[in-house]
């Protein structure tokens, strides 16, 4: 099966040790995590892991079920890039004299929509927000101009078809599971899995 990029969104209780419990599910299967972000959600006390991996869908589905099985995990979604809106943020540190002297650099920064965060006499820090290709594009373009330091954040992603987690959580708090709470209800019915 063909590997492709999947964004796995994991809704969890905020609990110490859960990061490890989730991380080892990937390492045990020798799956490289391309990007990992843990953040709060629209609901207090619920965390959201956003994990990007490059794998075949079959592997991702099984993995999602194993993650969802963990006691403190509420729900797992996995989506292809077409099904999410995502961003990454990057910081670039460039010598200030290079920018001030070379018009080409300035053009590059405009082209990639980079914003200056800090300007000092010795260096300037720019940021860009976007998809990896854009970020990497500027990284490559800046390399010949004495790029001092570069860092890129993990991906954060929002699922296009999601209505948020409020209603879902109410269902989870009921003792009797509703139809929608059932894991893997829509076996092999890819499109329906993402209705949330």
| Interface with other proteins (CB under 8 A) | 12-13, 16-17, 20-21, 24, 28, 61-62, 65-66, 68-69, 71-74, 169, 172-173, 175, 177-179, 181-185, 187
Of 21 and 152, CB closest to other proteins: 21
CA–CA dist 82, 103 (Å, integer): 37
Of 82 and 173, CB closest to other proteins: 173
Of 92 and 165, CB closest to other proteins: 165
What's the closest the beta carbon of residue 2 comes to other proteins, in angstroms? Answer: 18
Is residue 78 within 8 A of residue 66, CB to CB? The reply is no
Of 71 and 151, CB closest to other proteins: 71
Question: 115 CB contacts (<8 Å, ≥6 apart)?
Answer: 126, 127, 128
What's the closest the beta carbon of residue 33 comes to other proteins, in angstroms? Answer: 16
Of 70 and 162, CB closest to other proteins: 70
What's the closest the beta carbon of residue 64 comes to other proteins, in angstroms? Answer: 9
């Amino acid at each position: 099966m063909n590997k492709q990029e999947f964004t796995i969104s994991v809704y969890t209780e905020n609990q110490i040790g859960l990061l490890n419990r989730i991380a080892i599910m990937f390492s045990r299967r020798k799956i490289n995590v391309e990007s990992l972000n843990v953040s709060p959600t629209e609901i207090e006390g619920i965390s959201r892991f956003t994990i990007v991996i490059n794998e075949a869908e079959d592997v991702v589905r099984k993995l999602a079920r194993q993650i969802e099985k963990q006691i403190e995990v509420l729900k797992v979604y996995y989506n292809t890039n077409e099904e999410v809106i995502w961003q990454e943020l990057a910081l670039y540190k460039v010598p200030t004299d290079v920018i001030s002297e070379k018009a080409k650099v300035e053009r590059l920064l405009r082209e990639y929509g980079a914003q200056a965060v800090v300007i000092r006499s010795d260096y300037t820090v720019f940021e860009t927000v976007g998809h990896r290709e854009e970020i990497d594009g500027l990284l490559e373009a800046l390399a010949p101009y004495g790029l001092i330091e570069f860092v890129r954040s993990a991906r954060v992603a929002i699922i296009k078809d999601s209505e948020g987690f409020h209603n879902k959580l109410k269902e989870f708090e009921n003792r009797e599971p509703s139809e929608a709470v059932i894991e893997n209800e829509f076996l092999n019915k890819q499109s329906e899995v993402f209705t949330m």
